[in-house]
Amino acid sequence: VPLGSPVTHYKQYPPNTTKVYSYFECRAKKTESTKIQKVKYDKTVFYGLQYILHKYLKGKVVTPQKITEAKEVYREHFQDDVFNEKGWEYILEKYDGHLPIEIKAVPEGSVIPRGNVLFTVESTDPECYWLTNWVETILVQIWYPITVATNSREQKKILARYLLETSGNQDKLEYKLHDFGYRGVSSQETAGIGASAHLVNFKGTDTVAGICVIKKYYGTKDPVPGFSVPAAEHSTITAWGKDHERDAFEHIVRQFPNVPVSIVSDSYDIYNACEKIWGEDLRSLIESRSADAPLVIRPDSGDPLDTVLKVLEILGRKFCTTENSKGYKVLPPYIRVIQGDGVDINTLQEIVAGMKKHRWSIENVGFGSGGALLQKLTRDLLSCCFKCSFVVTNGLGLNVFKDPVADPNKRSKKGRLSLHRTPTGDFVTLEEGKGSLEENGPDLLHTVFRNGVILKTYTFDEVRDNAKIRDCDLEESVD
Amino acid sequence: MAAQDFNILLATDSYKITHYKQYPPNVSKVYSYFECRRKRGGTQFSEIVFFGLQYLLKKYLSGRVITEEKIQEAKVFYQMHFRQTVFDEEGWRKVLEKYDGRLPIRIKAVPEGKIIPRGNVLFTVENTDPDFFWLTNYIETMLVQMWYPISVATISREFKKILAKHLKATSGSLEGLDFKLHDFGYRGVSSQESAALGGAAHLVNFCSTDTVAGLLMAQRYYGCPMAGFSMPAAEHSTIISWGRSREKEAFESMLDQFPTGPVSVVSDSYDIFKACRHIWGDKLKERVIERSEDSCLIIRPDSGDPAETLIEVIKILEECFGCSLNSQGFKVLPSYLRIIQGDGIDLNSVDEILEKLSDEGWSAENVFFGCGSALLQKLNRDTLNCAFKCSYVEINGKGMDVYKQPVTDPSKGSKRGLLSLRRNSDDFIETVERGVGKPEEDMLVIVFENGSIVQEYTLEEIRKNARLLEDYIAPSQHNQDEPKSLELHQKHIMNGVH
């Protein structure tokens, strides 16, 4: 039951409050921020609620021991008895420790424009009005899987556009952005959640924890949702000694003859490695590899675009290129490049645009991203927040909201909310209970959790299907 | 004891499964180290707080971490993940048989809480049995996550330096410094586990937090029964639920419900300035004045420009409640009234706000700060350039210093050979490479060996190690001829540059 400041809130609501109803959204920014963002993030991928429900909210979450422990912790922490012991004992007795709240949410994987309600939370027992915002802290952490999945999907759109433009198809798109982020996240748990969110859009990952989260909390029809290939790291090259880089390369390539193998080549001099070692000393060894088992050369330092272009130029010279149906250069199928250093959504855009400008097809490269994919994100990126919009006090319902004079962006929605499709196919959030009127069509929010029971779940396949890129997503032209 | 259902075989980057096949033949030792590299072009964070290793050791690495079930689970998994057989089943079974599932690894580390300049070795990892050379870098992924508690503890301490500087300058003392920065980051962090770890790291420097998970972590892994404190506080829902026309009733209820002890009330739901002037400063003025210093009202703005809003709020409060001058001649609000600014706070804005307050004649005593994402989430491995690299191997019984030195980025060059950390004759901390360090001077201590934790630290010791030194509190007292400034200190460190 470790949750923060909500501990004292049960005492702060108006007397005779019998319901507190709150919602979650990724607020739209109405006013221009001082920093002009290159990427707009107009729509977000809803993902991650099922994990939170399963792991933290379902079933019997309160026991007498936990109440006692919490009481002691909070007495020390506040130097006062403010913990709502009676409130929790009530839940223990009446509901056998199950949480009397109801959560309605948009289906997982749904792609929804900013500024719309994504899920609502309300207490189902008049005695437990305070519970709605007790669970806020834990539910707001959904900002993370939403943000990873959204940012990952935006990168998929960029890759799809350029791949289509420079090759005429989208083959292997799902392997073009590989998750390298395991070591760069803040904890094991974050790794699992974040990596699973990336796999909503892609299939290549080295963050094994993500696959475990998907298997445990979502399920797929395939045995695993993500794949990897043998690859070197600096220690497996440098351990051979500076004068034996060629021996290291040769040894590793020979260890993995029938699958793609990625070899980091910048331990000393990436350009020399490409020109002399790969391009000359080991050239025949590489040329004998099949299209299913290419050597993938990995630079790992220097300016990302400059390095990629220079590496392609050298490899192009040493191994020759062909021109594809769109008129772009492609290396022979047994050799490819993966750029896994300094890749974020902005540099990704720069690299594919730079490659296109120099007439290189995106078929030639794959990308790896670590910190930018899984860690360099905050709740502010998509303005994720949880706000109370409706209460019942003295038997009367009241639409409530905040509207700070100094920031119109922070204004919150009012009353009971629902999400609908308009006749033109757009999304709209109806406030103040208006959504219950017949003429507005069905509410897209479904009850997923009530009184400790998960009522609706989604498989990861459904999540992926809901989040897939459609043709209209690629309509933005490629410069 | 490490967690039962956690499978360490699945807690690594996939590609590391394939590395046992890639090292040179007859390699019998792989020795690696961790540092927060220095970046050229000057560094904002020139020293770091070492913290968090004990958590990883206790939770994931100590005791019996390998079982036959875990090997089988990993084998099946990797078969599907790589679409071929590549997992080193035999290698892991040997760990199980020879060491009863305990890791034949030695880790030496700087004591937790110690303040170390960038570019120095912080811990080293090596296999203790020649059969398990591949194990050293297998656990890299997990150990590199040390970047997080180190970075949070470091940033938190940088906040403390700024707060200390202003507090000392405007009030003459550091009283209450440990409560000046409140952790608001629980909801803005990426997971419960990160909240716990980040929350605990902040508590190395401060005592105020709402991130309860951090308290529990400090209790379970660092032996501190209660590492941090909080106070009753409102949130927007507990104010707006009264209705727009009843903000005064909502505020008054807060004062009624919490008559003793400090209480924080967010006041910007509709109009922070009107709330301060007309509600706190007029309608509820009597109620505010009757509160004691120990039960002060702490008004919380939560929108608008952080500095400007604060200045305007404090001016309104001065008009309504008056103020007095402290021993340094700065203005202080009456002791029953304070402000907490918890929106938009980061290292820059805190400094800016206190600077502006001071320019307007206000003491830093008037304000507390709350920080969320800037403390616990807006950090990454590049913030302090944390990296783990192999620096020494033994092949055919012969030792060899190894390193990377990419021509495309000299700052990514790594250290060479066996490493130690010492204080040199000028009292500056430096890393000694190539195995020439004297063991008796080595600050690195064995903390983990063959599955056992052999050295532990309490939060109390860690807090002592990490405390602020006089230098940072009153930098204006430095003389030009006293060579104790940080810049000079840097010049004496002979590492990170080859």
Model pLDDT for residues A339-367, shown as the tens digit of each residue: 999 999 999 999 999 999 999 999 999 99
Of B210, B260, B390, the CB nearest to A238: B390
Residues A65-90 have a mean pLDDT of: 89
| Residues 455-494, chain B, touching A (beta carbon < 8 A) | none
Quick one: pLDDT at residue B481? Answer: 38
Reported as half-sphere exposure (CB side, CA atoms, 13 A), residue A82 has a value of 28
| Binding site as annotated, residues of A | 183, 206, 234, 298-300, 340-341, 371, 379
Quick one: pLDDT at residue B472? Answer: 59
pLDDT digits (tens, 9 = 90+) for B57-104: 999 999 999 999 999 999 999 999 999 999 999 999 999 999 999 999
Quick one: pLDDT at residue A37? Answer: 60
Quick one: pLDDT at residue B491? Answer: 38
> Does residue A3 carry a pLDDT above 60?
no
Quick one: pLDDT at residue A394? Answer: 93
Residues B455-467 have a mean pLDDT of: 98
- With CA atoms as reference, report the closest residue to B37 among B28, B48, B51: B48
Quick one: pLDDT at residue B40? Answer: 73
* Closest-approach residue (CA) in chain B for A268: B406
- In the predicted model, what is the mean pLDDT of chain A? 94
Residue in this structure with the two tokens 């974050």, named with its chain if needed: A190
H or E element: which one contains A241? none
> Does residue B42 carry a pLDDT above 90?
no
CA B15 vs. chain centroid, Å, equals: 29
> Does residue A219 carry a pLDDT above 60?
yes
* Beta-carbon pairs below 8 A across chains A and B: 343
| Binding site as annotated, residues of A for beta-nicotinamide D-ribonucleotide | 206, 298-300, 340-341, 371, 379
pLDDT digits (tens, 9 = 90+) for B181-238: 999 999 999 999 999 999 999 999 999 999 999 999 999 999 999 999 988 899 888 8
pLDDT digits (tens, 9 = 90+) for B112-143: 999 999 999 999 999 999 999 999 999 999 99
Give CA–CA dist A151/A102, Å, rounded: 29
- With CA atoms as reference, report the closest residue to B107 among B48, B50, B54, B37: B54
Give B3's pLDDT tier (boundaries 50, 70, 90).
Answer: low
Contacts of B331 (CB under 8 A, 6+ apart): B318, B323, B324, B325, B361, B362, B363, B366
Q: Is residue B119 within 8 Å of residue B36, measured between CB atoms?
A: yes
Of A189, A378, A387, the CB nearest to B193: A189
Give CA–CA dist B219/B153, Å, rounded: 17
Q: Which residues of A touch B380 (CB under 8 A)?
A: 184, 371, 375-376
Of A22, A140, A241, the CB nearest to B400: A241
pTM of the model: 0.94
Distance between A359 CA and the closest CA of chain B, angstroms: 24
Helices A64-78/A85-95 angle, 10° precision:
170
> Does residue A479 carry a pLDDT above 50?
no
Render B350-401 in DSSP notation, one character per residue: HHHHHHHHHHTTB-GGGEEEEESHHHHTS--TTTTTEEEEEEEEEETTEEEE
B242 or A271: which leads in pLDDT: A271
Of B142, B233, B389, the CB nearest to A5: B233
- With CA atoms as reference, report the closest residue to A27 among A429, A406, A296: A429
Q: Which residues of A touch B60 (CB under 8 A)?
A: 188
Quick one: pLDDT at residue B360? Answer: 96
Of B212, B213, B404, the CB nearest to A267: B404
Rounded to whole angstroms, what are the CA distances from A246 to A267, A332, A396, B24?
12, 21, 78, 12
Residues B36-49 have a mean pLDDT of: 86
Instruction: Give the helix, strand, coil percentages of chain A, each rounded to 5.
Output: 40, 20, 40
Residue A354 exposed, middle or buried by CB count within 10 Å (0-12, 13-18, 19+) = middle
pLDDT digits (tens, 9 = 90+) for B410-425: 999 999 999 999 999 9
Q: Are β-strands B386-395 and B398-401 bridged in parallel, bridged antiparallel, or unpaired?
A: antiparallel
Tally of CB atoms within 10 A around B55: 23
- Token output for A319: 């191994």
> Cα B159–B164–B169 angle (5° rounding)?
135
| Strand residue runs (E) in B37-120 | 47-49, 105-109, 115-117
Cβ separation B268–A404 shorter than 8 A: yes
DSSP designation for A375: T
Give A36's pLDDT tier (boundaries 50, 70, 90).
Answer: low
Cβ separation A268–B407 shorter than 8 A: yes
Residues B236-265 have a mean pLDDT of: 92
Quick one: pLDDT at residue B363? Answer: 98
- What is the maximal distance between C-alpha atoms in chain B? 84
pLDDT digits (tens, 9 = 90+) for A366-409: 999 999 999 999 999 999 999 999 999 999 999 988 888 888 88
Q: Which residues of A touch B141 (CB under 8 A)?
A: 182-183
Give exposure, B381-413, as e/b (b: 16+ Cβ within 10 Å).
Answer: bbbbbbbbbbbbbbbeeeebbbbbbbebbeebb
H or E element: which one contains A311? helix A304-319
> Does residue B24 carry a pLDDT above 60?
yes
Residues A208-226 have a mean pLDDT of: 97
pLDDT digits (tens, 9 = 90+) for B150-171: 999 999 999 999 999 999 999 9
Give B478's pLDDT tier (boundaries 50, 70, 90).
Answer: very low
- Token output for B470: 């006089």
Give B44's pLDDT tier (boundaries 50, 70, 90).
Answer: confident
| Binding site as annotated, residues of A for diphosphate | 183, 234, 298
Quick one: pLDDT at residue A438? Answer: 75
Q: Are β-strands B420-423 and B429-432 bridged in parallel, bridged antiparallel, or unpaired?
A: antiparallel
pLDDT digits (tens, 9 = 90+) for A304-353: 999 999 999 999 999 999 999 999 999 999 999 999 999 999 999 999 99
Reported as half-sphere exposure (CB side, CA atoms, 13 A), residue B498 has a value of 16
For residue A422, the one-letter residue type is T
Q: Inform me whether the C-beta atom of residue B309 falls under 8 Å from chain A C-beta atoms.
A: yes
B475 or A402: which leads in pLDDT: A402
Distance between A161 CA and the closest CA of chain B, angstroms: 28
Cβ separation B15–A13 shorter than 8 A: no
Quick one: pLDDT at residue A32? Answer: 54
Give CA–CA dist B64/B73, Å, rounded: 16
Residues A189-205 have a mean pLDDT of: 98
Give CA–CA dist B50/B114, Å, rounded: 6
Least confident of A12-16, A200-204, A260-264, B446-450: A12-16
Q: Is residue B172 within 8 Å of residue B328, measured between CB atoms?
A: yes
Q: Is residue A290 within 8 Å of residue A336, measured between CB atoms?
A: no
Quick one: pLDDT at residue B480? Answer: 37
Contacts of A347 (CB under 8 A, 6+ apart): A304, A305
Q: Are β-strands A101-105 and A446-450 bridged in parallel, bridged antiparallel, or unpaired?
A: antiparallel
pLDDT digits (tens, 9 = 90+) for A137-183: 899 999 999 999 999 999 999 999 999 999 999 999 999 999 999 99
- In the predicted model, what is the mean pLDDT of chain B? 92
Pick from A236, A261, A270 the residue to mutate for testing the B interface (most B CBs within 10 Å). A236
Give CA–CA dist A190/A376, Å, rounded: 12
Of A299, A398, A407, the CB nearest to B303: A407
Quick one: pLDDT at residue A33? Answer: 55
Q: Which residues of B touch A73 (CB under 8 A)?
A: 212, 215-216, 226
Q: Inform me whether the C-beta atom of residue B307 falls under 8 Å from chain A C-beta atoms.
A: no
Look at chain A and count its residues: 479
